[in-house]
Amino acid sequence: MAKIKIHFVPVGNAPLLKKSKFLMSTTDKFTSATSFVRKLLKIDTDVPLFLYIHSFEPSGDQSMGDLMDCFGVRGELVVHYSLMEAWG
């Protein structure tokens, strides 16, 4: 199964991650990235969490592989995470 490198970058006052680069499967959907960050940050579903690529929020059913092909830079996909809306 092909893997791609995801780089999670905090925005605003979002807490830092001890480790910020992870491998995800190309067939994973974007919603699994969201639940993964929730787990890493140990936050519940009632706490707002926003994930962005560049300045937009991808749809939950887009595949990580497609997102990497369209928006990846230098072999990795940068995903910004924020506890509040960052780019309306």
Contacting positions for another protein (CB under 8 A)? 1, 3, 19, 21-25, 27-29, 31-32, 34-36, 38-39, 44-48, 50, 53-63, 66-67, 69-71, 83-85, 87-88
Nearest distance in Å: CB 46, another protein? 4
Q: Return the SS3 of 54.
A: coil
In the bound state with another protein, the residue whose beta carbon lies nearer, of 76 and 85, is: 85
Could you list the beta-strand ranges (E) of the chain: 3-10, 21-25, 50-52, 76-82
In the bound state with another protein, the residue whose beta carbon lies nearer, of 75 and 88, is: 88
C-alpha span between 40 and 62 (Å, rounded): 21
Q: How is residue 55 written in tokens?
A: 């300045």
